[in-house]
Amino acid sequence: MKINRPIIALDFPDREHAVRFLDRFPQDEHLFVKIGMEMYYGEGQDFVREVIARGHDVFLDLKLHDIPHTVHAAARVLGKLGVQLTTVHAAGGQEMMAAAKEGLLDGAAGQRIPQVLAITQLTSTSEEQMHREQLIQASLQESVLNYARVAQQAGMDGVVCSAHEAAAIAAATAPDFMRVTPGIRLAGGAVGDQKRVMTPDQAAANQSSAIVVGRAITQADDPVAAYRLVKKLWEE
């Protein structure tokens, strides 16, 4: 399953900046935006509801990781919001991931049930660090693939991963298991703190199911034009 619209990472310091960004788009443009910890902790559920009320789809990226009972309770709260996508850490285990799914289902109470993506190894984790701190002796790629399989068995809808890993994950999991990939840049754009980047068309060729694009759109001189360009490259 491919999500046709690029998902815009709404990484802003506060509601005012985020709304100013959204206001640049035509009112009837249905965007898919990612709300992360910074905006959620700062502006809370009211902001999520406001974005949905504006007609946008929301990927609420809070990366839950706790004991299954606590994650179930937290996911039940999030299930009521009407978001499309959420995230949990695969490192929390299959029981925890399944509890998240159940909690979302309970919370949604017949409304739209959010899909859940698993975080495998954070892209900020190096192989050396994984060996040293997690005592995982496999390669980073093997660990990512293992977590993807474990997440699929737990009933997750996909993983967040680097576009560089998408094809390998596609080969190791079912066709409808999603590969949602950040770290996207336009050719010639600033790389910033991302270490391994791909353009939207390269990500599509490498079997990403959806792309998450932040600064290449939000920090562009003309964000709407940048969005249209990313969308065109991704769709083609």
Near ligand C5P in 156-185, by CB under 6 A: 160, 182-184
The candidate with the shortest Cα–Cα distance to 214, out of 45, 27, 39, 29, is 39
Whichever of 140 and 212 has its CB closer to ligand C5P, that residue is 212
| Contact pattern from residue 121 through residue 150 relative to ligand C5P, giving x for each residue in contact according to CB under 6 A and a dash for the rest | -xx---------------------------
Using the rule CB under 6 A, which residue among 9, 144, 168, 210 binds ligand C5P?
9
- Angstrom distances, CA of residue 152 to CA of 84, 117, 137: 18, 10, 22
Only one of the segments 17-25, 72-80, 89-97, 206-214 lies at the binding site for ligand C5P (rule: CB under 6 A); that segment is 206-214
Find out whether 206 and 166 touch, Cβ atoms under 8 Å: yes
- Residues 185/198, Cβ–Cβ less than 8 Å: yes
- Counting runs of H as helices and runs of E as strands, what totals does the chain give? 10, 8
Residue 11 near ligand C5P by CB under 6 A: yes
Task: Out of 213, 226, 230, 233, name the contact with ligand C5P by CB under 6 A.
Answer: 213
Phi, psi torsion values for 73, nearest 5 degrees = -65, -40
* Residue 3 binds to ligand C5P (criterion: CB under 6 A): no
Pick the binder of ligand C5P from 98, 117, 212, 230 (CB under 6 A): 212
Size of the site for ligand C5P (CB under 6 A): 15
- CA–CA separation, 202 and 157 (whole Å): 23
Max CA separation in the chain (angstroms): 51
Strand-pairing partners, residue 88, are 64, 118
Q: Per CB under 6 A, does 103 bind ligand C5P?
A: no
Q: Which residues bind ligand C5P (CB under 6 A)?
A: 9, 11, 36, 122-123, 160, 182-184, 194, 212-216
